[in-house]
């Protein structure tokens, strides 16, 4: 086993490409987390066969495709004896649900190394930092993402806000759904960019907004 390893987990391939291009963290090992955990179903045992099956269906890809896109980049995390992990994510809901999933997996694995969470703006510039331990996040993940319940106490304020947005955004009276209903005659391809601009704190992408608009208009 390789000792004293430090791994930096980035929010997706775009951030990975940006950091490679700019030389940021160039001497460190960087891996992207290519997921959208704020969307679709999941299960308790993170990265298990059941998890892979469920998430592949959510993304409409095969298990092999999910493995190539999401799991292969994470192999250094799975295989090496890592004693320091740095997470580089935005404050938005999309990123915070990804952060929660990673922290929950580390908790499930009883990870005892150090964890630094670096929160960034939309230009990938660091805004704030937290030092964490992988404790309590598995229970938090289960409560939020399996049972869809708001925890009584979430210590990290950005994560708390992300959880609140996550639990609400698909509801009929959420601000996203209300906005869609207020623009019934705007074509989907024009409404999506408006929502991307007006609701940046959610961090959702084109695909998620297309599906939200589709579901909202089908059920009206």
Which pLDDT score, from 0 to 100, does residue 220 have? 64
Tally of domains within the chain: 2
Q: What is the mean pLDDT of residues 103-123?
A: 94
- Cβ atoms of residues 140 and 156 within 8 Å: no
Instruction: Please tell me whether residues 51 and 131 are part of one structural domain.
Output: yes
Where does a domain end: 150, 182, 201? 150
pTM: predicted TM-score of the whole model, two decimal places: 0.93
Residue 156 lies in a domain: no
Give the pLDDT score at 25.
86
* Cα 146 from Cα 43, distance rounded (Å): 6
Give me the percent of the chain exceeding a pLDDT of 70: 97
Is residue 161 in some structural domain?
no
Confidence at residue 185, expressed as pLDDT on a 0 to 100 scale: 93
142, 183: one domain: no
Judged against a pLDDT cut of 70, whether residue 175 lies above it is answered with yes
For residue 50, the model assigns a pLDDT of 98
What is the predicted pLDDT for the residue at 2? 45
174 exposed, middle or buried (CB, 10 Å; 0-12, 13-18, 19+)? middle
Tell whether 211 and 132 lie within a shared domain: no
Shared domain for 122 and 32, answered yes or no, is yes
CA 130, 134, 139: angle at the middle one, nearest 5? 115
DSSP 124-174: S-EEEEEEE-S-SHHHHHIIIIIS----S--SSHHHHHHHHHHHHTTSTTS
- 19-33, 42-56, 97-111, 158-172, range with the lowest pLDDT: 19-33
Instruction: Categorize the per-residue pLDDT at 1 as very low, low, confident or very high, splitting at 50, 70 and 90.
Output: very low
Q: Tell me whether residue 164 is in a domain.
A: no
Whether residues 26 and 131 share a domain: the answer is: yes
In a domain, 56, yes or no: yes
Average pLDDT of the residues in 118-141 = 92
Confidence of residue 123 (pLDDT cuts 50, 70, 90): confident
pLDDT digits (tens, 9 = 90+) for 48-75: 999 999 999 999 999 999 999 999 999 9
More confident: 74 or 215: 74
Query: What are 132-151's pLDDT values in tens digits?
Result: 999 999 999 999 999 999 99
């Amino acid at each position: 086993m390789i000792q004293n390893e430090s791994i930096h987990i980035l929010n997706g391939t775009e951030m990975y490409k940006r950091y490679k291009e700019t030389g940021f963290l160039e001497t460190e090992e960087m891996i992207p987390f290519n997921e959208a955990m704020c969307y679709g179903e999941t299960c308790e045992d993170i990265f298990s066969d059941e998890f892979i099956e469920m998430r592949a269906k959510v993304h409409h890809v095969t298990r092999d495709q999910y493995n190539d896109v999401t799991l292969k980049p994470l192999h250094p995390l799975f295989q090496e004896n890592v004693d320091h992990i740095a997470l580089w994510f935005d404050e938005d809901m999309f990123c915070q649900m990804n952060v929660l999933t990673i922290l929950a997996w580390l908790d499930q694995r009883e990870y005892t190394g150090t964890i630094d969470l670096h929160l960034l703006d939309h230009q990938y510039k660091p805004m704030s930092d937290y030092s964490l331990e992988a404790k309590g996040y598995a229970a938090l993940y289960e409560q939020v993402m399996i049972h869809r319940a708001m925890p009584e106490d979430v210590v990290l304020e950005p994560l708390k806000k992300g959880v609140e947005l996550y639990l609400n955004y698909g509801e009929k009276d959420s601000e996203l759904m209300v906005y869609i209903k207020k623009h019934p005659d705007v074509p989907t391809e024009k409404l999506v960019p408006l929502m991307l601009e007006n609701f940046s704190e959610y961090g959702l992408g084109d695909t998620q907004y297309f599906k939200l608009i589709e579901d909202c208009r089908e059920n009206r």
